[in-house]
Chains A and B, each alone.
Chain A
Amino acid sequence: EIVLTQSPATLSLSPGERATLSCRASQSVSNYLAWYQQKPGQAPRLLIFDASNRATGIPARFSGSGFGTDFTLTISSLEPEDFAVYYCQQRYDWPPWTFGQGTKVEIK
């Protein structure tokens, strides 16, 4: 089973700042990595698939990069609605598809 480790656990930033979230895989997942956003009491929302492709309706301030074992989600300028928990997920080796433990982006 591939283990995904996200860092940091919590990111404290102000609106307008740049957020950089990391996801590291225990073995290569090629580019088969996705990012999800989850707000309290809501279902997750797909942001990025295949490492760098934005899902339908996702604003351009969200971008993904990486290949192999190291991936990054960048939010170029945080909007108030971006404060949430973010999960990475791999689909390269399955079953099971696995998720990281999450990074919480909170208001500083």
Chain B
Amino acid sequence: EVQLVESGGGLVQPGGSLRLSCAVSGFAFSYNAMSWVRQAPGKGLEWVSVVSGSGGSRHYADSVKGRFTISRDNSKNTLYLQMNSLRVEDTAVYYCAKDLRQGESHLGDFDNWGQGTLVTVSS
């Protein structure tokens, strides 16, 4: 059974930093790209970032580019999101999501999601 478990959320002041983790099991982690998707309270879904299976390719939404860094440790089956210079508008539930397909192409369908971790940016 595929499982994704996020952790690391919490309350942080504007300008602060936070690192989210997503521990996965039940599939060959290094074969699948992984994404972070967020959802502000009462709002829709927003894709944030993706990292390829090898970790060599990373992409970001413009809203977080230069502030957030996605990474992965395939030896630990764990995905990370380092969030710096946090803003009030970054307040959201952050989900990690597994890509449907293995490999480096035809990405962007998310077939397994974690339960989410809430990040609140407030003074």
Q: Which residues of A contact B (CB under 8 A)?
A: 32, 34, 36, 38, 42-46, 49-50, 55-56, 87, 89-91, 94-102
The answer to whether A91 and B108 touch (CB under 8 A), given A43-B113, A44-B113, A45-B113, is yes
Contact: A56 with B44, CB < 8 Å?
A: no
In contact, B62 and A96 (Cβ under 8 angstroms) = yes
Q: Which one, B59, B62, B107, B110, contacts A46 given CB within 8 A? A: B110
Report whether A44 and B44 are in contact in the complex, using a CB–CB cutoff of 8 Å: no
Question: Chain B: interface residue count, which band?
Answer: 20 to 34
User: Is B100 located at the chain interface by the 8 A CB criterion?
Assistant: yes
- By a beta-carbon cutoff of 8 Å, the part of chain B in contact with chain A is 35, 37, 44-47, 50, 59-62, 95, 100, 107-111, 113-116
Residue from A34, A43, A96, A101 in contact with B116 in the complex, judged by beta carbons closer than 8 Å:
A43
| B59–A89 CB distance below 8 A | no
Task: Please tell me if the beta carbons of B113 and A91 are within 8 angstroms of each other in the complex.
Answer: no
* Docked-complex contact B44 and A100, CB < 8 angstroms: yes
**11 more CB-based (< 8 A) A-B contacts, given A42-B115, A49-B109, A100-B44:** A43-B114, A44-B110, A46-B110, A49-B100, A91-B107, A91-B109, A95-B59, A99-B44, A99-B45, A99-B47, A102-B45
